[in-house]
Structure formats: C-alpha cells, structure tokens
Amino acid sequence: PGKKVLIVYAHQEPKSFNGSLLKIAVEELTKQGCSVTVSDLYAMQFEPRATRNDIVGHLHNSEAFNYGVETWEAYKRGGLSKDLVEEQKKVQEADLLIFQFPLFWFSMPAILKGWMDRVLVQGFAYDLSKAYDGGLLQDKLSLFSFTTGGSKEKYAIRGDIRYLLWPMQHGIMHFCGVKVLEPHICYAPENVSEDKRKEMLTAWTQRLKTLWKEQPIDCSPEWYFK
C-alpha cells in the first residue's frame, strides 16, 4: 500500500488487448492502495524524436549539435522542455515502472523507444561513472508487459524470446540502476480463442496481486543467453 506506479502505455486503441491489460493493471494496483499514473503515449501525442526542441534556451555548443551533451547540460541547469520534465517527475516518484506495449519487429514501438531516448537523459537516469548497479534510478522496479504477433512455439524455434529483452531490460533499465521483474508476455492474443484471451487477462490479474512479493531477475548475461 502507498506504492507509486507509473505505467507507460504504447497502443493506439483503448479497446485492444493491450488496452485491457492496462485497465486491469490500473484497477488491480489501485485496489491495493497504490497510486497509479499512466502515460498514454499515443493519446498524449508524445514526440518520439530527440531534437533541438528538447532544450529550452541557449545551447552548450551552438556550432555542432550533440543531443547527449546538450540534454545533459540542460538537465543540470533545469533547461529541458516541459514534456520531458513532466515525464522525469513521474519516473522519479515511481516505485515501479510498467511498460505496456505490443512487440513491433522484435522491439518496442517507436513512440515508446522515443520516450526512453528523450526521458532517460544523462544526469537524470545515469552517469557514465554511475551505471548498472550504480545507476541513478536505484530502488525502483520495472516490468515489461507486452503482446506478440507470433505464438510461443514460433519464438521457441527461432531462439529464446529472452534475447530480445536484453536491449530493453538490460541495456536500458538495468543500465539506469532499475531492478527488473520477470517480463509478462501474452503470446499472439489475436490468434487465440476468446476463452484463452480471458485466461491471459486472469493470469495478469493474479500476478499483480502478489507482484510486490516478487524478486527481481538476476541481471546477468546468463539470464538472457544461457
């Protein structure tokens, strides 16, 4: 109770299966006494592109634009654009970050990748001397909850789905010091029966009930590639 959760949601249609997973998470976690904030990226028309517009006022180097350097400098002086400051505040306050999305091309949708690119800037989420277990967003948990187009069997033939999670969970979350819970994967909801879909939704509800008792995964290459 009293925990704060940020759900970063990337789907265009509220009536989608992802929309149902979001709704369940909001309801279940609220019922537990958590305060839940949702960043609905499509509804917000969130800008995924990392551009000069992310810096308010003067540039550190007006001769040649370097996004990483400029956002780091802007963060230090409080010169990031309003939308970024708002998202960073939500991240800062959250005990748990849930990312809810459909898997596109073995990765997250562009709008969500853009959120990662723009929000998790140096100085806020990491510093080069403070990354991974020393990252700046320690004491937070994250969970990637996503749907796939292909079945579990298809993924098994082509190599473990855990390989795809390495850049997302390890390269982004763990890099920033965030602990990672087991991913929640709903395989091919569009290709299964209505009953199976209901089962998937029930499984998500059940998992959320005991989520705070879970231990994070071992953030090592072995978890992904063993």
d(CA 114, CA 120): 10
Kindly give, in sequence order, each residue whose CB lies less than 8 Å from that of residue 190, ignoring residues fewer than 6 positions away.
17, 149
The pLDDT mean for the chain works out to: 96
* Cα 80 off chain centre by: 21
7 near 26, Cβ under 8 Å?
Answer: yes
| Candidates 3.40.640.10, 3.30.830.10, 3.40.50.720, 3.40.50.360; CATH matching 4-225 | 3.40.50.360
Under a CB-based contact definition with an 8 Å cutoff, are residues 150 and 188 in contact?
A: yes
Gap between the Cα atoms of 169 and 181, Å rounded = 9
DSSP sequence for 159-218: S-THHHHIIIIIIIIGGGT-EEPPPEEE--GGGS-HHHHHHHHHHHHHHHHTGGGPPPP-
Paired with 101 in beta bridges are: 146
Region class of 76: left (phi > 0), else alpha (psi between -120 and 50), else beta: alpha
User: What are the tens digits of pLDDT across the range 174-221?
Assistant: 999 999 999 999 999 999 999 999 999 999 999 999 999 999 999 999
Please tell me whether the overall predicted TM-score, pTM, comes out greater than 0.85 for this model.
yes
- The pLDDT tens digits of the residues spanning 132-161 come to 999 999 999 999 999 999 999 888 887 789
Residue ranges per structural domain of the chain: 4-225
> With left for phi above 0 and alpha for psi between -120 and 50, is residue 177 left, alpha or beta?
left
The first and second tokens of residue 200, run together, are 């998937």
8 A C-beta contact, residue 48 and residue 111 = yes
Q: Which residues fall within 8 angstroms of residue 29, CB to CB, at 6 or more apart?
A: 3, 5, 36, 208
How far the first Cα of the chain sits from its last, in Å, is 36
Q: Nearest-CA neighbor of 3 among 39, 29, 25?
A: 29
Confidence at residue 51, expressed as pLDDT on a 0 to 100 scale: 97
pLDDT band at residue 1 under the 50/70/90 scheme: low
